[in-house]
Structure formats: structure tokens, C-alpha cells
Amino acid sequence: MPAELLSLVQSMVTPAVMISACGLLLLSISNKLGRVVDRTRELNSEDRDLATDVDGVRRLSIRNQIDLLLRRALLLRNACGLLYLAVAVFALTSLCVGLSRAAHVFEVLMLVLFVLGLATVVWAGILAYLEIRLSHHAITEEIKELRLHG
């Protein structure tokens, strides 16, 4: 295999590695999103089933937790959307690598797309981190309720 062709193939593999990395992140984040949605449904059901004479502390705690869960779900949804976008951008990057031999414009586009893909992954990572911080607040809310009853 000529060195130039080997270099081209190696250049096309780099975005594929990034696509795989995005896939692993998507798997993790979408699982978290599913758990957040399930927990939100559980708390909504509990809130609906509470008798009107139930201690207001529990009802307030449930509603505060639901608010936090909704914020977490939004962050996770946005992180997933960004990762799907990154996959598309890395796929386009790979295509541009293949077309770069045909025209110089594809070399420039390839670099721009790769940097855009990396920035998108970083942005998704920041959102995932913010969601983790919110999950800590949700746990704090549950503990606060337990201490008020204890």
C-alpha cells in the first residue's frame, strides 16, 4: 500500500474512533436519562397518590425533587443531542478526508468539522458534569426531608 494511501486511510480512521467514543458516552448518558425519567414518574405517581392530609414536608420534598429531576433530564437530553450531532459531524469529517484528494476545500472543511466535533463533545461533557452536580442536590433534598421527620 503506497504511503499516501495509507495516510489517507489513517486520516479516515480518526473520526471513526471519535464516533465510537461518542457512542460510548451516548450509551452512558441515555441510560442515566432513562433512570431520571423513571424516577420522575415514580415521584409523580407518589405525589398523585398522597392523601390531602399528608404531611406537607413530604409533598414539598417530592415536588422539589421533581423540579431537580426535570432540570437533570433537560441537561441529559441536550448532552445526548450534542453527542448525536458530534457523530454526524465526525462522519462528515471522514467523508471530507476521502474527498480531500479531489479538492483543497475538503481539506479545510475536514479540519473545521473535526474541531467542531471535538467542541461539541466537550460541550456535551460539560452538560453531563452539570447534571452530576444537580444529582447531588437531589440527594441532599431527600436527606433534608429525612432529617425533618427524624
- Residue 123 included in any domain: yes
- Alpha carbon 66 to its chain centroid, in Å, reads 19
- Residue 18 included in any domain: no
Number of domains in the chain: 1
- Residue 6 included in any domain: no
- Residue 14 included in any domain: no
Cβ(62)–Cβ(43) under 8 Å?
Answer: yes
- Residue 145 included in any domain: yes
pTM of the model: 0.85
Cβ(117)–Cβ(86) under 8 Å?
Answer: yes
- Residue 20 included in any domain: no
pLDDT in tens, the chain (150 residues): 677 777 767 777 788 899 999 999 999 999 999 999 999 999 999 988 887 777 788 888 889 999 999 999 999 999 999 999 999 999 999 888 888 878 888 888 988 999 999 999 999 999 999 999 999 988 888 888 778 776
Domain holding 104, by residue range, is 29-149
* Cell of residue 82, nine digits: 450534542
- Residue 106 included in any domain: yes
